[in-house]
Structure formats: C-alpha cells, structure tokens
Chains A and B, each alone.
Chain A
C-alpha cells in the first residue's frame, strides 16, 4: 500500500481537509490552464457568491452627519432620522436592510464593485489565482519593456 501512495506522491499524514483543498487547487489550476475564460464563467456565471457572514458583521455604522441629505443608492430614498445604515470598506454607505439583502446574494459593493470575502472556497481560489496570474503577466510585460525600450 505504501508504494501505491508513494507513486502518487500522496502524503499519508496530510489532514483530509488540507488534502481536499490541495486537490481542489490543483484541479482548478488544470482547468484554468486549459480554458481560463470558461472556468471564470463556471465560477461566476450563476451570480457571484454571497458575502461571508463574518465580513458583514464587521461593517461599521456611519455617523449621522455622513447621512445628512444623502440618499441610499439601493432604494433611492433619502436617509431619515433613526434610519440604520452601514459603511462598506470602500466607504460607500447604504441602508442596513438594503445592503444586507444585497450582500446575501452578491459579495460586491453595488456602486463600485469592491469585493467582500465569501465563504465559497472555489471562488476565493479562483480570485487568488487570477490575481497571481495578472501580477505575473505584469511582471513579464515590465521586463519586456525594460529590455526593449
């Protein structure tokens, strides 16, 4: 049995959850190399995943001064005294109810698309890999510019 695992480079001490994560990542890389756009569609298409509950809990309440004369861009209503509101990390403010309803469905700011973390592992892996690849491509482009300009 040992030789079987040896051949497949499987570490028998690897914790199952870690193994699942690693295999997911590897499968994902294969798919990404094969057809990045289609993979992105697969992850994104149904609608983006909801924001993680813990991220929503972390959002802060704005000062009433910040709401004065402003309008919630989800329901298009002006803020009234006693209205509950929340501020996104991008500083955009919405009614608490309006924003929470939206974040239960999608993880990004309705105005600027700033993304909150999600609980969807595949989606987070995809984002991570996409970022790495973009960084790599930028590096290569810069190197190219250095050499040929």
Chain B
C-alpha cells in the first residue's frame, strides 16, 4: 500500500523518529510487521513522577487519512493515571481528538503523552475513579500509580503492604489484576474491595 499516510510515516521514520533527540527523551517508535499502519511506541516514565523507572508500551494505529486525522493511540501497558483508562488504556488527550493538526507527527504525540504523564489533567478525566483519587487522596494516588508502574511497567518501587492485600483476595479465588483494580479503586480498603467483588 502506497498512500499518503504510508509515505508520511516513512518520512517520519527517516527524519524524525530515528533522531538522537528522541533517544534523549527516552521515546521510541517501532514497526509492527512491515505495514506502516500499525506501530509500537515506547515511553519511559518521566523522572520525579510515580511512573519513573517504568517502560510503557503504546499501540499506534495510523488511519489511511493520516496526517489529516490523528493516529489512534492506546496504552498497552496498564497504567494508573486520571487521563488514561485503567481498564482499556484509552487516552484522553486533546491533540488525539479535536486539537490534532496536520503538521503534528508521532514525535509530537509521544512527547505530549510524556508531558501528560508528568502533569495530569484531572478535570478532563478518562478514568473518573482515578481522577477522584488523584484529587481527594493525592498520596494514595501516588503510591498506587507507583505500584502499578512496578507491577506492569518494571518500575523499581515495590509495595509489600499492597502485595499482601492482593494475596488475601487471591486466596479467596480472585484473579490478581481484578484484585489490584478493586483495591486501587477503593483506596486499598480491603473490606470495601471484598464487598464490591462479591456483591
């Protein structure tokens, strides 16, 4: 297939994506197979955030109408963030919707996502549960996000207290992702998480 979208992505690969500057920002884009319509992005968690030390993978789908329409981007790595769905990885970011402009590139998108990870916008949430926790219990939010980074993205911060609560639910036959989701949702209140899981 040799349409505008493919040509554009090929050029981006040649001129923008392989540059050293991207390596410095710890951002990467790779091809998936040999079509230029499906790509895999990678973002390092920004320093001084709960995502530091984690590696986050993105699914990038390039529509035939690119660059006149934005790429479709989703987190494949599970992440706890107000503007990203903790279940599906769907992202709420204006440039992926109505604020897209044809001169933007995949580099723009990845840098914007890295900025979003560093500065959430809880008033325009994708995940209402996470956004509520972010606003009402910022410390629990930071711990939870850091824990998810450890479990799903290879981040350094273990949390044995959270681990043992998850183990308690696993002992009751709950699958671990589901247990982690419920406990994160209820601010690590084991009783309320259990109640919800068995109701």
B4 touches A75 (CB 8 A): yes
**Minimum distance in angstroms from B125 CB to a CB of chain A:** 14
Which A59-110 residues have C-beta < 8 A from chain B?
73-77, 98, 101-102, 105-106, 108-110
Q: Assess whether A45 is interfacial by the CB under 8 Å rule.
A: yes
Within B1-37, the residues touching A (CB, 8 Å) are 4, 7-8, 11-12, 15
Q: B101 and A106: CB pair below 8 A?
A: yes
Q: B88: shortest Cβ distance to chain A, in Å?
A: 20
Interface footprint category on B: 10 to 19
Minimum CB distance partner of B10 in chain A: A76
Q: Which of B4, B11, B67, B97 has the most CB of A within 10 A?
A: B67
Within 8 Å CB of B7, what residues of A?
Answer: 75
Does A48 reach chain B (CB closer than 8 Å)? Answer: yes
**A108 engages B68 (CB within 8 Å):** no
List of A residues within 8 angstroms of B68 by Cβ: 101-102, 105
What residues of B have a CB within 8 angstroms of the CB of A101 in the complex? 68
The answer to whether A76 and B4 have CB atoms under 8 Å apart is no
A residues less than 8 Å from B12 (CB atoms): 76
Q: Is B102 an interface residue (CB 8 A)?
A: yes
Within 8 A of B (CB), among A103-119: 105-106, 108-111, 113
Tell me what chain B mostly uses at the interface: helix, strand, loop, or mixed: loop
Q: C-beta contact mask, B56-77 vs A, less than 8 Å → 1, else 0? A: 0000000000011100000000
- B8: which A residues are within 8 A, CB to CB? 75-76
Give a binary string over B76-102; 1 marks a CB under 8 Å from any A CB, 0 the rest.
Answer: 000000000000000000000110011
A102 to B, closest residue via Cβ: B102
Q: Which residues on the B side are within 8 Å of A113 (C-beta)? A: 101
A-B interface pairs (CB < 8 A), number: 37
Within 8 Å of chain B (Cβ to Cβ): is A138? no
A3 at the interface (CB under 8 A from B): no
The verdict on A47 contacting chain B, using a C-beta distance below 8 Å, is yes
Is B172 part of the binding interface, using a Cβ–Cβ cutoff of 8 Å? no
Are A76 and B11 within 8 A (Cβ)?
yes
State in angstroms the CA–CA spacing of A105 and B11 once bound together: 23
B98 pairs with A110, CB closer than 8 A: no
- Are B11's CB and A45's CB within 8 A? no
Query: For residue A92, which residue of chain B has the nearest CB?
Result: B103
- The answer to whether the Cβ of A44 comes within 8 Å of any Cβ in the partner chain is yes
Per a CB cutoff under 8 Å, which of A47, A48, A74 touches B67?
A: A74
Q: In the complex, A102→B68 CA distance in Å? A: 6
Counting CB contacts under 8 A, is A46 at the interface?
yes
The one of B4, B69, B98, B102 in contact with A45, judged by C-beta atoms closer than 8 angstroms, is B98
**In the A-B complex, the 5 residue pairs with the closest CB atoms:** A110-B103, A110-B102, A73-B103, A76-B11, A110-B101
Extra 19 A-B pairs, beta carbons < 8 Å, given A76-B12, A102-B102, A113-B101? A44-B98, A45-B97, A46-B98, A47-B97, A47-B98, A73-B103, A74-B102, A75-B4, A75-B11, A75-B67, A76-B8, A76-B11, A77-B11, A102-B68, A105-B68, A108-B101, A110-B103, A110-B104, A111-B103
Question: Which positions in A face B, CB cutoff 8 Å?
Answer: 44-48, 73-77, 98, 101-102, 105-106, 108-111, 113
- Subset of 7 A-B contacts with CB under 8 Å: A47-B97, A74-B102, A75-B8, A76-B12, A76-B15, A105-B68, A111-B101
